[in-house]
Amino acid sequence: MIELTRRATFSAAHYYWNDDWTPEKNEQVFGRCANRNGHGHNYTLEVTVAGEPDPVTGFVVDLKWLKDVIEREVMAAWDHRHLNLEVPEFANAVPTTENLAIAAWRRLEPAVTAAKGAKLSRVRIYETPEIFAEFRGGQA
């Protein structure tokens, strides 16, 4: 089995906030991320699929197809967006790097599974080059 990975980048705004908490509590837990005006990041998304290379093409999956899947399932909804205000997954969940990794998995997994002979193996999201979260499926 081979794991094949493609990276893509997107730029988005977000903030961390819990409506059930006072502003003081939000600031205490979330620090500068609790600024409701929002801040943002250049995120890097790494999508890894696993399978056997096709003996004729040498492809686990066609990388052009994978790029289109990432574009359609994630980039179209997240790039140049405000994650809290425009992305349904984060209407009621804090858009932490951890939650972004899970949400990206759920967006990508059905499309990748529909491809013959490959499965989604791993999703990694870098919020900055220093911080990243990784999800390999299952409960979360």
Q: Which residues are catalytic?
A: 33, 80, 127
- Tell me: does residue 5 bind its own copies (CB under 8 A): yes
Measured from the CB atom, the residue of 21 and 111 that comes closer to its own copies is 21
- Binding to its own copies by CB under 8 A, coded x per residue (else -) over 74-113, reads -----xxxx--xx------xxxxxxx-xx-----------
Angle of the 97-113 helix axis to the 63-70 helix axis, nearest 10: 130
- Tell me: does residue 128 bind its own copies (CB under 8 A): yes
**Which of 27, 59, 106, 111 is the binder for its own copies (CB under 8 A)?**
59
**Which of 24, 88, 91, 130 is the binder for its own copies (CB under 8 A)?**
130
Whether the Cβ atoms of residue 124 and residue 101 lie closer than 8 Å to each other? yes
Whether the Cβ atoms of residue 103 and residue 23 lie closer than 8 Å to each other? no
Sites of contact with its own copies (CB under 8 A)? 1-9, 11-14, 16, 18, 29-33, 35, 37-42, 52-53, 56-60, 62-64, 79-82, 85-86, 93-99, 101-102, 128-136, 138-140
